[in-house]
Chain A
Amino acid sequence: MRPDPAGVLTGAHYLDGDFACGEGAMAAGCRFVAGYPITPSTEVVERISRRFPAMGGTFIQMEDELASMAAVVGAAWTGTKAMTVTSGPGFSLMMENIGLAAMMETPCVVVNVQRGGPSTGLPTMVGQGDVMQARWGSHGDYEVIALTPQSPQEAFDLTIDAFNLSERFRVPVMFMMDECVGHMTERVVIPEPEEIDVVPRVLTDKSPQEFEPYSVNGTEIPEFARAGDGYRFHTTGLTHDERGYPVMSVDCQETCVSRLLDKINDNADEIVRFEEEGIEDAEVVVVTYGITARVARLAIDLARAEGVKVGLLRLIVIWPFAERRIRDLARSVGAMVVPEINYGQLVLEVERCAGGRCPVVSVTHGGGGVHDPAVIAKKIIEAGASRT
């Protein structure tokens, strides 16, 4: 459906990624944001707190990130689209309630503008070291969706997608920006409301007597009832049955948890998104995401100038992982080069999917800056040479 026009700031703007993300959220219909200040993410909530009062949105600065995430889950159960925004240290604090959101199947969005870690790390400088945490950070088995924008324009566009995916699959969606994209200012075009697609919160039309909060009847995603509509439902972070009642048994655990995984994994082809450039004749493929994709393009130009046939696979959705595509490519290309601003995180997934069919080269960077394109280019050229 079309968004509430009050949230859509149509026009061409000069915005940084954080502001663009905030605009994307408002355009997507987000009307509740709880957050706690942390560099380099704070501008997102600063933008929102200024604009929300005119569109029926509520922003609350909570006492910490545990509270922020818990409040987001609570607000989402009223049918309101809800989001929180943070960076590494706050992301760590949110993990338990991200697990709760996954277990209760709560649509919501968590923005992480990544900085260098671990611990307090590099508060004002870039990192991509939370991409595994986005997937595995809370305990137990669950699935989430995670996206990585490469520009302020994408920070806007993909934030809308993040909300839409969270509604469609009833999962917390991790919006994994990085400090560079968050703080870089570029042209951002915000379309007319009529040109934006938003997935609404679809409320069940079952009667309270028929309704069970977690029964699926063959589909994989349960229908939603919000608090205050007379359904008098129960939901819990405990392993639960269709009624949302706790059941401590091996069987219930299997049914409850496997569906949380299946609803994402079985629909991975619908969710996964990537972009390819110059892949057709490529002997080497650079697989990367976020700001590093933009750096990699420079490296690719350098390597092409040296005669290496190299292409780019830019991951837009990093979780679920683009498993099928990487597996196929691994059969046809000579090598994959994976630069990322961490000591080798998503490269593990690339290696797993390549399954030894082609060499996979990690190009690490500890954070605080982006790669020197020449360093990536050197790895591409070496990978191309070992191929011939």
Chain B
Amino acid sequence: MSVDTVGTRTDFPAEPPEHPTAPYLRMERIPHVWCPGCGIGTVVQCFATALERSGVDLDKASVVSGIGCSGRAAGYLKLDGFHATHGRAIPFATGLKLGRPELLVTVFSGDGDLSGIGGNHFIHAARRNMDLLVILINNFIYGMTGGQNAPTTPLTAKSSTMPFGNFEPPFNLPHLAASCGAPYVARWTCLHIRRLTWTLEEAIQRKGFRLVEVVAPCPPLYSRLNKLGTGLDGMSFYHDNAVIKHGADTRDLGIDFQESIVCGKFVDEEKPTFSELMDTHYDRVLGDKYVPMAPEGGWLHE
């Protein structure tokens, strides 16, 4: 197309075509709060695509977030969305799942929310094999509050409260989940669009406590303090430093500062969930006397 033809075209559609993810989002809330170059948005996009491909009944899908930048996801997805308190997305989601067992309940939140203040709930939900898909955005920092140290901040990385570099050993989250019994554990970076989408699609079909950790940049805070560049630089940096090793020993998944990030699917097992264990157990010991939670959920409605 030569330059002088630009601006002479008249056949533009009156309305731009709808973005393919739009039906899964609360478009009336866009623009969102996230910064340019933030890694959270691509994960929302991948999750929406995975929902579409999986063909699940979206009316029966709920998303629960805690507090943080990542925690805003529940407010943008066009599902039943619950924006709970800081750290409590997993127990809130536990109540939702047990109250209405046929729901697909996804927890979408940050590293600080899920492994810092909410760490106790994380390990117990994994131990119980609560039927929750947990999408954890790991930006190595408390983003929303301004870049403070997190339980995921790599050794020597700078944060606003470790201005001289972090000296606390961080969590290896896939290993934490796996050692508590989680039957599905994977990790990608937010630029592994196809692989992450595929993993999420698979995770939606699995049951039990499923952890999908997604490493994502936070350009204005973590990336700036740690000289990872702006915008796409941070995403590319993580993507290019990823080493894909499906089935890797989860003990080897710790993330060192600016070093390689092992990605892939590490655990994929079949294990009875909390509700299945409860049902089988009560069936066995109580027989006909056992009445499970009403399949349609809830009681005493009018």
Interface 9-mer from A140-148, A233-241, A295-303 = A233-241
Query: Number of A-B pairs whose CB atoms are under 8 Å?
Result: 191
CB of B197 within 8 A of chain A? no
A233 touches B80 (CB 8 A): yes
Known A6-B291, A53-B286, A54-B290: A228·B60 in contact at CB below 8 Å:
yes
Judge whether A231 is part of the interface by a CB distance below 8 angstroms.
yes
Interface of chain B residues 276 through 302 with chain A (CB within 8 A) = 278, 282, 286, 289-294, 297-302
Stretch of B86-94, B157-165, B187-195 lying at the A interface: B86-94
**Nearest CB of B to A265, in Å:** 25
- Pick the residue among B58, B60, B98, B99 that contacts A79 (CB under 8 A): B99
B273 to chain A, nearest CB (A): 13
- Whether a CB of chain B sits under 8 angstroms from the CB of A250 is no
Q: Is the CB of B85 within 8 A of A32?
A: no
- Closest chain B residue, CB of each to CB of A31: B299
| Nearest CB on B from A64, distance (A) | 7
User: Is B120 part of the contact surface with A, judged by Cβ < 8 Å?
Assistant: yes
CB distance from B293 to the nearest CB of A (A): 5
Residue from A203, A228, A245 in contact with B62 in the complex, judged by beta carbons closer than 8 Å? A228
Judge whether A233 and B81 touch: CB under 8 Å.
yes
A379 at the interface (CB under 8 A from B): no
Report A20-42 CB contacts with B as 1/0, cut-off 8 Å: 00000000010110100000000
Q: Would A29 and B300 be within 8 Å (CB), given that A226-B100, A233-B81 are in contact?
A: yes
> Within the complex, what minimum Cβ distance (angstroms) separates B122 from chain A?
10
Interface size on B, residues (CB 8 A): 50
| Chain A residue with the shortest CB-CB distance to B59 | A230
Q: Does B103 lie at the interface of the complex (its beta carbon under 8 Å from any beta carbon of A)? A: yes
**Which residues of chain A (31-72) have a CB below 8 Å from chain B?**
31-32, 34, 53-58, 60, 62-64, 66-68, 70-72
Contacts of A73 in B (CB 8 A): 84, 92, 95
Picked from A3, A56, A96, A97, the residue with its CB within 8 Å of the CB of B293 is: A56
Asked whether A81 and B85 contact (CB < 8 A) given A54-B290, A74-B94, A232-B59, the answer is: no
**Is A75 in contact with chain B by the CB < 8 A criterion?**
yes
B165 CB to nearest A CB, Å: 32
Is A4 part of the binding interface, using a Cβ–Cβ cutoff of 8 Å? Answer: yes
Given contacts A78-B96, A79-B99, A228-B102, contact A66 B297 (CB under 8 A): no
Given the complex, which residues of A lie within 8 Å of B239, measured CB to CB? none
Residues A237 and B292 in contact in the complex (CB < 8 Å), given A32-B98, A75-B99 = no
B146 to chain A, nearest CB (A): 17
Whether the pair A80, B99 counts as a contact (CB closer than 8 A) is: yes
List, in ascending order, chain A residues with CB within 8 A of B120's CB: 63-64, 67
Additional 11 contacts, C-beta under 8 A, given A71-B92, A226-B100: A34-B94, A54-B291, A67-B124, A70-B84, A70-B92, A73-B92, A74-B93, A78-B100, A80-B100, A227-B103, A228-B103
Residues of A within 8 A of B (CB): 1, 3-4, 6, 29, 31-32, 34, 53-58, 60, 62-64, 66-68, 70-82, 96-97, 100, 198, 200-203, 226-238, 245-246
15 pairs from A and B in contact (CB 8 Å cutoff)? A4-B300, A31-B293, A34-B94, A63-B91, A67-B88, A74-B94, A77-B82, A78-B298, A96-B85, A97-B84, A200-B300, A228-B59, A230-B59, A232-B78, A233-B80
